[in-house]
Structure 1
Amino acid sequence: MAVLKLPGAVTCGTSGRELAGGTLKKAFLVKISTWNKNHGRYLGSRFAKRSRLDNVVKNCGLSSDEDAAEYKLDSSHLEEKFGSTRDRLLNGSSSDGAIALSGTSVDQSPTQDVQTELIMLSLPAIAGQAIEPLAQLMETAYIGRMGALELASAGISVSIFNIISKVFNIPLLSVATSFVAEDISKYADKDSAAAAERKALPSVSTALVLSAGIGLIEAVAMYLGSGPFLSIMGISMDSTMRIPAELFLKLRALGAPAVVLYLSVQGIFRGFKDTRTPVICLGLGNLSAVVFFPIFMCTLKLGITGAAISTVASQYIVAILMLWHLNKKTVLLLPSIKNLRFGGYLKSGGFLLGRTLAAVVTVTLSTSMAARLGAIPMAAHQICLQVWLSASLLADAQAASGQALIASSFARKDYGRVKLITHVALKTGLATGILLAIILGLSFPSFAKCFTNDSQVLDIVRSGLLFVSASQPLNALAYIFDGLHYGVSDFPYAAISMMIVGALASIFLLYAPPIIGLPGVWSGLTIFMGLRSVAGFMRLSAKNGPWWFLQDSQQNEVATS
C-alpha cells in the first residue's frame, strides 16, 4: 500500500504550503465508492478514517468556499487537487485509498501483500494436498511389488472409489469454502468483536449434515454394487482381476463416510482461511497409514486386503482429528432444520455435481480404455495416472487458497482486490506448472522404478514421460481457473463448460486408444485439461458475467460523511 504522508497533516492531496494558513483537526471518513457506468452497478464503498478541517469537509472538494476560505482554498481547487491524488491511489499506488497523517513516505505494493497472503495460505494447503497423494503413491508402491495383477486390480477399484466417493464430496468442499468465507465476512462487517467469537455458522452445520448423509449412501452403494461397477469398467466375470478388485473395493467402501466428511471439513477450514490445521490432521492420519501398510500387508500377510484396511483406518483417524479441531473454531451442535442452508448448497452443489461427474467420467473413461488393453498396459497407466494426478493436485491447493481470498473480497464488493488476487493466482499457478514439468521430466524415469520391478510395465511407463510432465502447466492453469470461478460463485459456468469439455475429450478417448493404444488415452487427458484452461480464459475475458469488472472501466468517487 502506498501511503502519502506530508509534514503535519494533509487532506485531499493538498500540500503543506497550501495548508499554511490553517491547522487540521478532528477526523473525517474518506469514502471510496466504485461504480460501473456501463452496467449501472454500485460496486460498494470503503471507508478510512483520516484528518479533516475544523468544519466538516463534505465530498472532499465539494465543501463550500466559505468553509475553505480560512485555509486559502476554494472548493474547485480542492476538487482538482483531490482528484489527482484519488486517481493515483485507486490506480495501484494504494490498496485502500488511505491518506496518512504525518511522517515520511512509505511504499508497499498491494501486489506483494496479496502474494504474501496467497503464499501463506498455499504452502500449508500444498502440503496438505501432497500428503494424501503421497500416501496413495506409497500404497501403489507396496501393491505394485506384489505383481502386475494386484496393481491393476487395485487401480480399477481405486478409480471406482474416486468416482463414487468424490463425485459428491468435491462440490461440498468447494461450496463450503465459499459459503463459510461469506458467512465470516458478514459477521466481520456487522461487528468485528463478535466476528472473533466462536459461533454456530449455518454454512458449517449444513456441510456436516450433508457430508454425513452422503457418505453413508456412498458406502452402501459401493459395497453392494461392487460387482456391477466392475462390469461397467470392463472387468468381466472371467477376468483374473475380478475377484481381488471386488474384495478391495468392498473394503475401501467402508471408508467412504470418513472421506466425504473430512474433505468437507477441509473445505470449511479453507473458508476460515486456515490451511494449516488440515495439514496437521492429514499428516497424522496418513502417517498412520504408512505405519499400517507393512504391518497388515507384510507382517500379517494380508496382501491388498491389508492395504485397503490400512487406508480405511487412516481415513477415520483424519476425520476424527479434523472434527476435534473444527470444534475449537465453531460451535458443533445438532442444528435445527430452519437454520440449515440446504437451498444454497443444493443449488450451487447441483451445478458442481454435474461438473464433477463430467470430470470424473472423463478420467474414468481413460482408465476403462486402458484396462481394455490388458493387465500390463493398465498397470503402466495406473502408475502414470497416479503421478500425474498427484502432481496436478498441488496446483489445486493454490486454487483453493485463491478461492478463499476471492470469496471474502467478493462478498465485500472489493473488486479491485479481487482483480489483483486473480492476476497473482494465475501467475503463480503457471509458474508452479512449469516447475512441476521440469522436475517430472528429469526424475520420472527413475521415479517409476519405485512402483514396480516389472520390465514390461516400466518400458510402457517411460513412454508416458511426455504426458506426465509436459501437461503440468495446462493442469495448473485449469485448477486455478476453477478456484477463480468458485470464488465468485460462478458455479453454473463451471458446470456447463466442464460438461462440454468432458464430452469433447470423451469422444477422443472412445476412438483413439483402440487405434494407437495408451498414447491415445494420455492424449485424450491432455486435451481435456487444455480445453478446461481455454474455457477458463474465455470466461475471464468476457465483458458480461461475474468477471465484467476485469474489462470495464471503473468510475470512482470519494465522499465524506
Structure 2
Amino acid sequence: MSATADNDTETEVTARRILALALPALGVLAAEPLYVLVDTAVVGHLGALPLAGLALGGTVLSVLTSQLTFLSYGTTARTARLFGAGRRAEALGEGMQATWLAIVVGLVVLVGGEVFADSIARLLAGDTAAADAAARWLRIALLGAPAILITLAGNGWMRGVQDTVRPFHYVLAANLLSAVLCPVLVYPMGLGLEGSAIANVLAQYTAAVLFLRALLADGALRAPDVSVMRAQMVLGRDLILRSLSFQICFLSAAAVAARSSAAAVGAHQIVYQLWVFLSLILDSLAIAAQALIGAELGAARLERARRVAWRIMRYSLALGLVLCVLFALLAGVLPRVFTSDPAVLAQIPAAWWFFVVQQPVAGVVFALDGVLLGAGDTAYLRTTTLACALGAFLPLIWLSWAFGWGLAGIWIGLTMFLVTRMVAVVWRTRSSAWTVAGA
C-alpha cells in the first residue's frame, strides 16, 4: 500500500469519525436502562408485590443475557477484521452466522428458563408471593430470549461494518414501542404485571425483525455454517468467563453491603447504579475502538491501529477526568435526588469519593478493553480480568465483611480491580502481541 493511500485513510480516523461511531452506540447502550426506569415506574404503581416480581424477574433475565454478550462483542471483532480487509460480503456472512447462533442459544435459554423459572424465583425470594410474581413475569419475558440475542448479534455485526446509526434507530423504535405499550397493557387492558412482560417481548421481536431485515437487505442470507459458529463459540467462551467474574464480584459486593445494614445497601445501590450509568458513557468510546481497531488490523495497518488505540484512550481518559470533576462538584447535591433518608445519606460518602476518583482510571480501562476486544485478544482479557477480579476485588469485598470495613472496603476493592486492570491493558497495548494483521 502506498504512503499516500495510507495517509488518506488515516485522515478518516479523527475525533469526528470516532464520535460518529460512539454517539449512536451510546444511544443503544442507554436505551435499555432508560426503558427499565419507565417499566419500573409503570409497574411500581401496581404495588409492592408486582414491583418485587419485576425486580426479581428482570434481574434473572438480565444476568442470563449479560452472560451472552459475546454475540455482540465477539461478532464485532470478527466482522471488523473482514470489513477492514475489504471483504464486506464475508463480514455480513459472519453476522448471519452469529444470528443463527443467537437463534439456537436463544431457544436453549427459552426452554431451560421455562423449565426452571419457578425454581429460580424461589431460590431468590423464597417460597413467597414475590417469587410467584417473578416467575409469572419471567415465563412470559423469556419468550423474547431469541429476539434479545438476535439483537445482540445484530449490534455486533453492524458495529463491525462501522454502522452504529441503524442499530440506534432499531433499538430506539423498539423501546419507544414498549414504553407506549407497557402502560396500555398494564392499566386500560388490565393485564397488570404480565402486561409489562408482554410489552417487553413485543419490543424485543420488533428490534430482532429490523436486524433480520437489514441482513436480508444487504444480501447476507446464508445457510448455517457449523465451523464458523464453533469459532464464534470459542471466542464466546473467553468473554463468558470474563463476564462471569464481574457478576460474582458485584453480587458479592451487594451481599456484603446487605449484611452491613439497610442504609449501607441503599447507599451502595445508589452509587453503584451511577457507576453503571457512567460506565455506559465510557463504553461508547470502547465500542468505537472495537470497530476501528478491527478494521485497521484487518487491513494490515498495524502502526495506524496503534495510533488509533492511543488516540481513543486519550479521549476516554479526558472524558473520565471531566466526569471525575463533575461528580465531585455534585457530591452534596446528587445523592439527595435519590434519597432523603439520613442514614443512607450518611453512608454514601464512604463510597462516593472512590466512585469519583475511579472515573479517569475507568476511562483508560474501558478504552483499551475495547482496543483489545477489537483485536480479538479475548484470551488475554479473560485471564487478566479473572486474575484482577479473584485476586484483588473479591478478597477485599469479603475482608470488608470480616473486618467490618463497610462500604469503604467494598469500594476499595472495586478501585483496586480497576487499577490492576489498567496496568494489565496498558502493558498489553504497549506490546505488539495484539497487533495481528489480517481477517
TM-score range, shorter chain: 0.7 to 0.9
- Equivalenced residues, count: 435
Q: What are the superposed Cα offsets for residues 500-538 of structure 1, whole Å, 9 maximum, x if unpaired?
A: 112121222233246244444444333333332222112
Aligned to 1:116: 16
Measure how far apart 1:404 and its partner are. 1.0
What CA distance in whole angstroms lies between the structure 2 residues aligned with 1:478 and 1:261?
28
Q: What are the superposed Cα offsets for residues 468-515 of structure 1, whole Å, 9 maximum, x if unpaired?
A: 544333333222121111122111101111111121212222332462
Aligned to 1:506: 394
1:183 aligns with 2:73: no
Pair 1:294–1:518, CA change in 2 (3 A): farther
What CA distance in whole angstroms lies between the structure 1 residues aligned with 2:143 and 2:283?
26
Pair 1:200–1:327, CA change in 2 (3 A): farther
Measure how far apart 1:388 and its partner are. 2.1
What CA distance in whole angstroms lies between the structure 2 residues aligned with 1:512 and 1:130?
32
1:279 aligns with 2:279: no
Measure how far apart 1:322 and its partner are. 2.2
Aligned to 1:225: 116
What CA distance in whole angstroms lies between the structure 1 residues aligned with 2:410 and 2:300?
43
Aligned to 1:437: 324
Report SS of the residue matched to 2:29.
Answer: helix
Report SS of the residue matched to 1:512.
Answer: helix
1:256 aligns with 2:145: yes
Counterpart residue type for residue 512 of structure 1: S
What CA distance in whole angstroms lies between the structure 2 residues aligned with 1:508 and 1:161?
28
Measure how far apart 1:308 and its partner are. 3.5
TM norm structure 1: 0.68
What CA distance in whole angstroms lies between the structure 2 residues aligned with 1:148 and 1:285?
27
Pair 1:215–1:461, CA change in 2 (3 A): farther
Aligned to 1:530: 419
**Contact 1:471–1:526 (CA<8 Å) still a contact in 2?**
yes
Q: What are the superposed Cα offsets for residues 150-201 of structure 1, whole Å, 9 maximum, x if unpaired?
A: 6666444433322211212x1121121121122233445xxxxxx5xx6784
**Contact 2:286–2:367 (CA<8 Å) still a contact in 1?**
yes
Measure how far apart 1:260 and its partner are. 1.3
Q: What are the superposed Cα offsets for residues 234-258 of structure 1, whole Å, 9 maximum, x if unpaired?
A: x4336x7544444444343333222
Pair 1:148–1:216, CA change in 2 (3 A): same
What CA distance in whole angstroms lies between the structure 1 residues aligned with 2:341 and 2:118?
29
Measure how far apart 1:286 and its partner are. 1.1
Pair 1:421–1:148, CA change in 2 (3 A): farther
Aligned to 1:84: none
Measure how far apart 1:229 and its partner are. 3.6
Report SS of the residue matched to 1:387.
Answer: helix
What CA distance in whole angstroms lies between the structure 1 residues aligned with 2:28 and 2:337?
22
Aligned to 1:174: 73
**Contact 2:297–2:436 (CA<8 Å) still a contact in 1?**
no
Pair 1:336–1:305, CA change in 2 (3 A): closer
Aligned to 1:47: 2
> Counterparts in 2 of 1:58-97, with a 5 A limit?
96=6
Pair 1:274–1:112, CA change in 2 (3 A): closer
Bigger proportion of residues as strand? 1
Aligned to 2:363: 476
Counterpart residue type for residue 177 of structure 1: T
Counterpart residue type for residue 126 of structure 2: S
**Contact 1:373–1:517 (CA<8 Å) still a contact in 2?**
yes
1:159 aligns with 2:59: yes
Pair 1:451–1:498, CA change in 2 (3 A): same
What CA distance in whole angstroms lies between the structure 1 residues aligned with 2:409 and 2:400?
5
If you compute each CA radius of gyration, which structure gives the higher value, 1 or 2?
Answer: 1
Counterpart residue type for residue 117 of structure 1: R
Q: 1:331 aligns with which of 190, 203, 220?
A: 220
Measure how far apart 1:202 and its partner are. 3.3
Pair 1:218–1:457, CA change in 2 (3 A): farther
Q: 1:213 aligns with which of 89, 92, 104?
A: 104
Pair 1:319–1:430, CA change in 2 (3 A): same
Aligned to 1:350: 237
**Contact 1:199–1:330 (CA<8 Å) still a contact in 2?**
no
* 423-432 vs 315-324, which moves further: 315-324
What CA distance in whole angstroms lies between the structure 2 residues aligned with 1:488 and 1:209?
23
Q: What are the superposed Cα offsets for residues 413-459 of structure 1, whole Å, 9 maximum, x if unpaired?
A: 21121011011110111122223334444557766676678776666
What CA distance in whole angstroms lies between the structure 2 residues aligned with 1:262 and 1:145?
30
**Contact 2:171–2:207 (CA<8 Å) still a contact in 1?**
yes
Aligned to 2:304: 417
Measure how far apart 1:211 and its partner are. 0.7
* 507-516 vs 215-224, which moves further: 507-516
* 301-310 vs 174-183, which moves further: 301-310
Measure how far apart 1:277 and its partner are. 0.3
**Percent sequence identity over matched residues?**
26
Report SS of the residue matched to 2:217.
Answer: coil
**Contact 2:53–2:130 (CA<8 Å) still a contact in 1?**
yes
Measure how far apart 1:120 and its partner are. 1.6
> Which runs of 5 or more residues in structure 1 are unaligned?
1-45, 49-93, 99-108, 189-194, 550-561
Pair 1:359–1:432, CA change in 2 (3 A): same
Q: 2:203 aligns with which of 300, 314, 337?
A: 314
What CA distance in whole angstroms lies between the structure 2 residues aligned with 1:548 and 1:179?
13
Aligned to 2:373: 486
> Counterparts in 2 of 1:227-246, with a 5 A limit?
227-230=118-121, 235-237=125-127, 241-246=130-135
Counterpart residue type for residue 184 of structure 1: F
* 280-289 vs 383-392, which moves further: 383-392
CA RMSD of aligned residues (A): 3.5
Measure how far apart 1:336 and its partner are. 4.7
Pair 1:206–1:548, CA change in 2 (3 A): closer
TM norm structure 2: 0.85
> Which runs of 5 or more residues in structure 2 are unaligned?
none
**Contact 1:157–1:246 (CA<8 Å) still a contact in 2?**
yes
Pair 1:287–1:258, CA change in 2 (3 A): same
What CA distance in whole angstroms lies between the structure 2 residues aligned with 1:202 and 1:415?
25
Aligned to 1:540: 429
